[in-house]
Structure 1
Amino acid sequence: MDLVGFGYAALVTFGSIWGYKRRGGVPSLIAGLSIGLLAGYGAYRVSNDRRDVKVSLFTAFFLATIMGVRFKRSKKIMPAGLVAGLRIF
């Protein structure tokens, strides 16, 4: 079972809900939940076949790119820098 992948998916999903409660951004909530679901699906696929990492890699790369751009623009560690840095794991 890919516990790291499921943990990453849960963290992204929780972060999108938390961000929505703090700021009220519906597009960010929808995007965060979508990425969280994709990450969970990728973790599920990796749990069934260790070599099936395409969805997980795409999701991590996409989220790291988006958050990396946001971090570069805002220079704030939370949440953009944190999420971009989580891609390493």
Structure 2
Amino acid sequence: MAIDWLGFVYAALLMVGGVIGYTRKGSLVSLLAGLGFGFGSAYGAYCVTCNPKDVKISLFCAFILALVMGMRFKRSKKVMPAGALALLSMAMVLRLVILFL
């Protein structure tokens, strides 16, 4: 049983990003979204660790974030945080689709 380290790192980055968004801008939405998607992605990484074919939760979280942050990046043209998170989430989607399905 291989541990999904990349999935756990991705989840941790989401949580840390939510906390940073809250402390710098006072954005409660960033905090709640970061922690919510972070915990969801961490649970998804745990599921992938237990069963490498169980990518549904991880894939759902990464896909939704790639979609939402991609739209925000297209509208705002700001690389941080929208563009970076969209790119990171798309990379996670591709990783999950290619490696685990």
TM exceeding 0.5: yes
Aligning the two structures, in what range does the TM-score lie when normalised by the shorter sequence? over 0.9
Match of 2:27 in 1: 25
RMSD: 0.7
Listed one character per residue, the Cα deviations across residues 8-48 of structure 1 (whole Å, up to 9, x for unaligned) are 00000000000111100112211111000000000000000
Q: TM-score, normalised by structure 2?
A: 0.85
> 1:80 aligns to what?
82
Note the residue ranges of structure 2 that are not aligned, 5 or more in a row: 93-101
- Separation in 1, partners of 2:74, 2:5: 30
Aligned mates of 1:33, 1:43 — CA distance in 2: 15
Aligned equivalent of 2:64, options 62, 65, 71: 62
Deviations 1:55-84 (A, max 9, x none): 000000011111111101110100100010
Aligned length: 89
Helix, strand or coil at the partner of 1:62? helix
Moved over 2 A (4+): none
